[in-house]
Amino acid sequence: MTVTSETLESPESTKVPAATVAEPVALPDRLSTDSRSPHHVAAVFSRDIGIQLNGKELTNVEEYCISQGWVKVPASKTRDRKGNPLLIKLKGKVQAFYK
C-alpha cells in the first residue's frame, strides 16, 4: 500500500482523497457563524455541528462559548441597523458535537 500526502491507495487500487480519511477539526471553545468574527473557523463548518444547551438541542445558534456557558440565538425577526439579526444570550451548560 502506497501512502502519499495527496491520495491514499487501497489494495483495490482506488484512490481516496486524503481529506475524506483525515480526522475532523476539533471544535473550538468559542465559535461564531459570522465570517467577520475573530471566532469564525471555516474548516469546522465542513461538517454539521450540533449544539446542546442544558440537554436540549438548539438549531438556530449563531455563536457559542463552552467555557463561559452561553449561546447567542436570534431574537425573532428583529434586525439591527445593518440588517444583521439581533442576538440574545442564553446561559447554561453548553455542549458542541459533530452530527
Total of domains in the chain: 1
User: What pLDDT is stored for residue 80 in this prediction?
Assistant: 92
SS3 16: strand
Residue 74 lies in a domain: yes
Look at residue 6 and tell me if it is in a domain. no
How far apart (Å, rounded) are the C-alpha atoms in residues 29 and 65?
A: 6
Question: Could you list the residue range(s) of the whole structural domain that residue 48 is in?
Answer: 24-98
**Helix or strand run (H / E) with residue 19:** helix 18-21
Residue 28 within a domain: yes
Does any domain span residue 15?
A: no
Assigned domain for 18 exists: no
- Cell 480519511 sits at which residue? 21
- In a domain? residue 59: yes
Taking the whole predicted model, whether its pTM rises above 0.75 is answered as: no
pLDDT (tens, 9 = 90+) of the chain, 99 residues, equals: 444 445 444 445 445 455 454 567 889 999 999 999 999 999 999 999 999 999 999 999 999 999 999 999 999 899 999 999 999 999 999 999 998
Is 1 domain-assigned? no
Please tell me the distance from the alpha carbon of residue 62 to that of residue 87, in angstroms, as a whole number.
8
